[in-house]
Chains A and B, each alone.
Chain A
Amino acid sequence: MKKGSRPASLKDVPFHYCPGCTHGIAHRLVTEVIDELDIRGKTIGIAPVGCSVFTMDYFDFDMIQGSHGRGPAVATGLKRALPDRVVFTYQGDGDLAAIGTGEFVHAAVRGEKITCIFINNAVYGMTGGQMAPTTLVGQMTKTTPFGRDKDINGFPIKVCEMLAPLEGSAYLARVAVHNPKSIIKAKKAIRRAFEVQMQGLGFSLIEILSTCPTNWGLSPVKAVQWLEENMVPYFPLGEYKTPAGVI
């Protein structure tokens, strides 16, 4: 029995991510689930704009690179034309929850049978550490050098809570990848999301709390602690909606 072996759906190339960035863990979990469900040959992924645009080079199945924030619209067009395939987007918090707000909300409204993997690390990574819609109040970023000011920037967006009341959303969960226990739970939720899509039950989204040590200005070890102490209290973990209803 082997632990830590590379999923077949994940290409054997080094990630370009910074040391300790948990995108790598999320990539591994998604591809493990795709392997376990044996859906690699009928899965199409949509890469965002941001650090994880390079998922297109890592995921070893058909991939599409779409414009910033529009992944769920691209996924809609694709899935409507190929309803028997498995279609998912991989998006960061800037991509999904700022510029792409219209697209993911309305994909959920329509109950699109797609899955959004939503990486929430409370900061813009690729562009160099600016405020994200999920940046915590008081959190310092390059564009909130004195901390996010609620009077100027408002409050962090809670995506799962927002989508739960919509009839079209079928499975919503917020998970984290900052410790082994959370990683195991995260994988279960990702698997459930793909299953919900395959069963045709509606829209699914997994919000993954992640770290960005570089732009948080913390060591990777400090970053996972910061996530636990600051992000988890504001973004509570758990399932927010299952096909049985709002939790």
Chain B
Amino acid sequence: MSKILMKGNEAIGEGAVRAGCRYFFGYPITPQSELTHFLAKRLPEVGGLYMQAESEVASINMVYGASCAGARVMTSSSGPGISLMQEGLSYLAGAELPSVVVNLMRGGPGLGNIAPSQADYFQATKGGGHGDYHLIVLAPNSVQELLDMTQTAFDLADKYRNPVMIMADGVMGQMMEPVELADQLEIKQVAKPWATTGTDYHEGRNLINSCYVIPEQMEDLNNRLEKKYADITRNEQQCEGYLLEDAEIVLVAFGMASRICRAVVEKARAGGIPAGLIRPITLWPFPMEFVSKVADKAKIFLAVELNMGQMMEDVKLAASGRAPVYHYGRLGGMIPDVREVLREVEKLYRGGVGQ
């Protein structure tokens, strides 16, 4: 084990390499470019391939092809590029191909800007592409987690034969933090007897497909996917609670926003407000069970996001009317500071449970 200083973008890249990913297909877009710069150098060192595609549409389909070969493969992009990948993500989900996609979110809609945002929550967790499907969506909040969760992402992708998205933003990509690097990492490569590697290389004939003209057969696939998503929902919900024991006002925030909210909770407590924090780590499956339990005791929820209130809807579903759910967000690439969120907490607490 060694401790080194690492940039978020490098941590994602190194995490991928340590997970046994040897293929990366991508198209340049800010603010994820540094990740591609890192992998363009790093992958050849381990006998891998970094390929710059002609578009995000091509990238995601190259990912599709390499995944058909049974390889661990990744792409990364940001807002507009991820939008272009949506058809491909739907195909990956439909054909049940393991793959990892990184979205370093930026301000939008449209071209927007390159500043940090969390406005792609709906797109990532509620579909994005066409048809009934889900991505597994992970939301790390530190450089260490960017490294570790990228590795987890590959394991989850293989375990469930499903695309996995890592959601972060440009600030996290740029951020430098000390990271613990395991000396020797075990790569959990799983057998992929379904891969289309040629009939000389496996039993029978393999077909990778998401086209079922006969509705009964399509429904069979949908039912199988539905069962898989239920398994994932049961097994993989992850979140972190902070000072929730006696919390009356509970902040809910992921990624970048959760780092700010941790400081808000501490400051609120110093000022006599019993605040706590829930940090969803998996955005899909959303940690419904955990939030629901907290809703038994909490008096107010405040979702803090870098968007107009997207995850807030999932918090409302989890709270199921037992506690009011408010939202505080900054938009357009703005990051809320601790003081402004604290003011919101004070306002809600005094106007609500505090009186």
Contacts and interface: CB of A to CB of B under 8 A. Distances in A.
A and B touch in the complex (CB under 8 A): yes
Interface of A: 40-44, 46, 53, 56, 60-67, 70, 73-82, 85, 102-103, 105-106, 109
B206 interface: yes
Contact of A62 (B59, B88, B206): B206
Contact of B199 (A41, A53, A74, A75): A41
A67 B65 contact: no
Contact of A67 (B51, B87, B200): B87
Nearest to B58: A73
A170 B61 CA distance: 23
Given A64-B208, A103-B54, A77 B198 contact: no
B68 A77 contact: yes
Contact of A106 (B54, B63, B211): B54
Contacts of B68: 44, 64, 74, 77-78
B189 interface: no
A67 B198 contact: no
B197 interface: yes
A45 to B, nearest CB: 9
B210 interface: yes
A103 B205 CA distance: 27
Given A62-B205, A64-B196, A67-B87, A73 B61 contact: yes
Nearest to A106: B54
Contact of B210 (A65, A79, A106): A65
A79 B196 CA distance: 11
Contacts of B70: 81
B61 A103 contact: yes
A60 B206 CA distance: 10
Nearest to A81: B69
A73 B73 CA distance: 14
Interface string B94-137: 01000000000000000000000000000000000000000000
Contacts of A60: 205
Given A60-B205, A106-B54, A80 B49 contact: yes
A77 B87 CA distance: 17
